[in-house]
């Protein structure tokens, strides 16, 4: 799709789940996810699961959401090892559902 075909300022929402060594002891790498999200200017949430994965949702301008997706897939926290990241429910949205990015417990 050409740049002209895209709506200016399109907002995007995507759910994610990160697999690998992504939860380390009692120091949650979610802090790094939250810091990266705030640095990029996206909103949403992150949470550790009982299965040892990290799950959440990211919303914001399409370009910034794509940058966060790349970070979740390739970088993560300094102590993590990312084996795979699944993205689902990716869609364009008309408004943000969140005002900030935070960690859920």
Return the pLDDT at 9: 73
**What torsion, rounded to 10 degrees, do the Cα atoms 33, 39, 42, 47 define?**
10
Does the residue 31 lie in any domain?
yes
Cα torsion 76, 35, 99, 6: sign: negative
Does the residue 36 lie in any domain?
yes
pTM of the model: 0.84
Return the pLDDT at 5: 38
Does the residue 18 lie in any domain?
no
Please list, in sequence order, all residues whose beta carbon lies within 8 angstroms of the beta carbon of residue 79, skipping any fewer than 6 positions away. 21, 24, 27, 29
Does the residue 10 lie in any domain?
no
Does the residue 37 lie in any domain?
yes
Does the residue 103 lie in any domain?
no
CA distance 22 to 56: 13
Average per-residue pLDDT for the chain? 85
Q: What is the pLDDT of residues 40-60, one digit of tens each?
A: 999 999 998 888 888 999 999
Does the residue 82 lie in any domain?
yes
Number of domains in the chain: 1
Q: What is the pLDDT of residues 56-86, one digit of tens each?
A: 999 999 999 999 999 999 887 777 788 999 9
Find the CATH number of the domain harbouring 61.
Answer: 3.30.70.100
Enclosing domain of residue 67: 23-93
Does the residue 60 lie in any domain?
yes
Confidence of residue 20 (pLDDT cuts 50, 70, 90): confident
Percent of the chain clearing pLDDT 90 (strictly above): 59
């Amino acid at each position: 799709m050409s740049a002209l075909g895209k709506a200016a300022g399109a907002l995007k929402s995507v759910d994610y789940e990160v697999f690998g060594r992504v939860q380390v002891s009692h120091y949650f790498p979610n802090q790094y996810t939250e810091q990266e999200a705030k640095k990029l200017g996206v909103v949403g949430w992150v949470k550790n699961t009982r299965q040892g994965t990290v799950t959440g949702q990211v919303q914001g301008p399409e370009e910034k959401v794509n940058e966060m997706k790349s970070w979740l897939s390739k970088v993560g926290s300094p102590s993590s090892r990312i084996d795979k990241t699944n993205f689902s429910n990716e869609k364009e949205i008309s408004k943000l559902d969140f005002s900030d990015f935070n960690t859920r417990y």
